[in-house]
Amino acid sequence: MDIKEKKINAVVVKRLDRLSRSLLDFEQFSNLCQENDVEFISLKESFDTTTAMGKAMLRIALVFAQLEREQTAERIADIMWFRAKKGLYNGGYRPLGYISIDNELTVQLNEKHIVENIFDKFFETRSIAEVVKFLNTNGYKDQRNNKFRPDKIKGILSNPVYLGKLKWRGMIYDGGHPAIMAEDQFQQVQEILNQ
């Protein structure tokens, strides 16, 4: 906004990759600077964007920054996939009924009964709305101390984590954590949900 309003003369960054590692994003930013006569200065790389050679060198550096970012993302995805195959929890939003200790899921007893109530009540009523009503009327809260919503209940009812399994990128793997629900009850609930 300040660039378009001509409030600044230059953008200074310590390193190029602190501004962007995406060639497309930087190209748009660079064009914005040029259109508004704003200099771009990178202290570490010392690019002179007033010359053709400086602009070319800047683009080459951005290509390598983008390559590094993409390779890092690939390595992380490979590690997460390897961990999932080994049944190890990859972190993220903690499932109700579990707590993460040293990146391993352990049953949290004071939430376990809420999960069991959710499955039992759904099996009894066959209605997510009824489960939500039951939980909120009786003062139950989720792991963030919020009231329950239908989408949250549906997510719990269909989450294989409660069978002692992990889902990663659409695949189900045996987890290294204890199950809260029995296989037969979980499958019956899935059949009801699919109907």
Give CA 46 to chain center in angstroms. 36
Residue 102 in tokens: 């040293």
Residue 93 in tokens: 């939003």
Confidence at residue 129, expressed as pLDDT on a 0 to 100 scale: 96
Q: What does each C-alpha distance from 159 to 56, 68, 97, 156, 169 come to in angstroms?
A: 50, 34, 12, 5, 13
pLDDT along the chain (195 residues), means of 10: 81 74 71 80 70 76 78 84 77 85 87 95 95 95 92 95 88 89 93 89
Strand 104-107 versus strand 165-168 pairing type: unpaired
Q: Which of 25, 28, 24, 33 is nearest to 3 (CA)?
A: 33
Confidence at residue 22, expressed as pLDDT on a 0 to 100 scale: 67
Confidence at residue 60, expressed as pLDDT on a 0 to 100 scale: 80
Side-chain half-sphere exposure of 133, counting CA atoms within 13 A? 7
Confidence at residue 163, expressed as pLDDT on a 0 to 100 scale: 94
Give CA 142 to chain center in angstroms. 19
Q: Which domains does the chain have, with CATH numbers?
A: 10-85 (no CATH), 98-194 (3.90.1750.20)
Confidence at residue 186, expressed as pLDDT on a 0 to 100 scale: 93
Residue 115 near residue 162, CB atoms below 8 Å? yes
Residue 32 in tokens: 């914005």
What pTM did the predictor assign? 0.63
Confidence at residue 158, expressed as pLDDT on a 0 to 100 scale: 94
Listed in sequence order, the residues at least 6 apart from 185 whose beta carbon sits closer than 8 Å to its beta carbon are 119, 123
Confidence at residue 4, expressed as pLDDT on a 0 to 100 scale: 82
Confidence at residue 43, expressed as pLDDT on a 0 to 100 scale: 74
Confidence at residue 83, expressed as pLDDT on a 0 to 100 scale: 78
- Residue 47 CA to residue 121 CA, distance in Å, equals 65
- Cα radius of gyration rounded to whole Å, the chain: 26
Confidence at residue 136, expressed as pLDDT on a 0 to 100 scale: 95
Confidence at residue 137, expressed as pLDDT on a 0 to 100 scale: 95
Confidence at residue 3, expressed as pLDDT on a 0 to 100 scale: 81
CB neighbours of residue 65 within 10 Å: 20
Confidence at residue 49, expressed as pLDDT on a 0 to 100 scale: 66
